[in-house]
Amino acid sequence: MQIKIKQKPVLISHKIGSSFLIKNTSFFVTIYPGLLWFKDLNSKKQFRLFLNFQGPQKRFTVLHDLKNGQLKIFFETNLGFFSYKIKNDSNKKLILFFENLPNNVTEIKSDSDANFKKISAKESISLPIEQINDLQVEEQLSFGVLKKQDIELIKKREDLLEILPFIFMLSQYYLDTSAYASKNVFIENLKTLMQNNEKILLEEALHNVYKALFFDAFVPRANDEEYQNIGIFKEEPGVSPVMVFSELYRIIKSLLINEDADGLYLLPCLLVSLHHGKAVNLKVSFGLVDLEWSKKILKKVVIRSADDLKIKLNLQAKIKNFRLKEDEQGKGKICQNSDEITLKKNRVYYLDNFKK
């Protein structure tokens, strides 16, 4: 009864000049075959790195692994294969690591360099970017979309079922951005719609947030810079676009799981389009919760408790009862919706057979 998400969250782009976030930092990078342009979302800081090789190139590809934040760039030239990565080294410092180079060598220079410097395959250079935290992606969502994860195709489809899981994962690198928080009208509208359980309007508002406040590979921005006339946002000094991540993380998670003094709520505000899906490693105060649902009704739940406690389970109103097992192979017992269940520290509990 283990709940697993098989699809690897790796964004793909073949577009020259697409932008990608650098994990655990406030920087993003716009990637061209011969240029890496790094910009800080929190300030006007920026720098460029130029790569000198004999063009033209073909099959330009960028892979962004959202699980570890690593960027891999590769393409072909007339002289051979060119590939490198933007990643952390063993000391958790950001580096540019060159995997494969035509004739095992290339040249590179920054804005401040007068001349190009040679660098060989398997060598790396440090990037002058400070990491703001060491947060990792642990919680993951899937709404059953198995289409190619090409960012250009994602932008054309504008499907929340594939957009929300990507935003949810990336947001986990930016959960300590409260220092840059501000009352964004898009976010405040989402909160109001959630409180009023306006699910149809909430979906529309989430679409608007994606269209207005993100570009390329889910890089955040403070305004609708494409002038789509979606809404009005008053830009404030000192406010970083990355604040939208921490807000959206809480909103997206609250659609699926919530916790308060009255207990644990599962699928409390499931959107109309989210008719089936999975969520794994959702953090709650007492441990981790995995969810799986189908036809808008809970199918499986796994609770990994880190504490001894009693908690009231509040399920969807349509559900009358369910089975609770402490052993995956055991028979378990039947519990009613809103029953209080007892959890033991370091134990795993399995819930299934949800009956209407």
Outline which parts of the chain fall under CATH 2.60.40. 275-356
Cα 293 to Cα 266, 267, 300, 315, 340: the distances in Å are 10, 9, 7, 12, 22
R_g of the chain, CA atoms, integer Å: 23
- Whether the pLDDT of residue 220 is over 50: the answer is yes
Q: Which residues contact 133 (CB under 8 A, 6 or more apart)?
A: 24, 173, 176
**CATH placement of domain 275-356:** 2.60.40
The whole-number average pLDDT for the span 42-65 is: 93
Amino acid 268 reads: P
Mean pLDDT, the chain, as a whole number?
A: 91
Q: Over the stretch 202-212, which tens digit does the pLDDT of each residue have?
A: 999 999 999 98
- Whether the pLDDT of residue 239 is over 70: the answer is no
Predicted pLDDT at 92? 83
Q: Over the stretch 248-267, which tens digit does the pLDDT of each residue have?
A: 999 999 999 999 988 999 99
Name the region of 152 (left: φ>0; alpha: ψ -120 to 50; beta: rest). Answer: alpha
Least-confidence region, from 76-80, 88-92, 97-101:
88-92
Percent above pLDDT 70 for the chain: 95
- Whether the pLDDT of residue 180 is over 50: the answer is no
Predicted pLDDT at 237? 57
Predicted pLDDT at 183? 63
Task: Determine if the peptide bond prior to 128 is cis (ω within 30°).
Answer: no
**Which is more confidently placed, 280 or 189?**
280
Predicted pLDDT at 112? 87
Q: Which of 171-180, 223-232, 305-314 has the highest mean pLDDT?
A: 305-314
DSSP code, position 217: T
- Whether the pLDDT of residue 181 is over 60: the answer is no
Q: Over the stretch 55-73, which tens digit does the pLDDT of each residue have?
A: 899 999 999 999 999 999 9
Predicted pLDDT at 279? 97
- DSSP string of 279-312? EEEEEETTEEEEEEEETTEEEEEEEEESS-EEEE
Q: What share of the chain is helix, strand, coil (3-state, %, to 5)?
A: 20, 40, 40
Angle value at C-alpha 263, between 163 and 169, nearest 5 degrees? 20
* Residue that has been written with the tokens 């976030």 in this structure: 21
- Whether the pLDDT of residue 182 is over 80: the answer is no
Cα 96 to Cα 26, 118, 129, 206: the distances in Å are 17, 14, 11, 35
H or E segment at 162?
helix 160-171
* 324 DSSP β-pair partners: 333, 351
In three-state form (DSSP H/G/I as H, E/B as E, the rest C), the secondary structure along 234-265 is CCCCCCCCCHHHHHHHHHHHHHHEEEECCEEE
**CA distance linking residue 130 with residue 110, whole number of Å:** 17
Q: Which residues contact 81 (CB under 8 A, 6 or more apart)?
A: 74, 100, 102
- Whether the pLDDT of residue 233 is over 60: the answer is no
pLDDT grade for 195, boundaries at 50, 70 and 90: confident
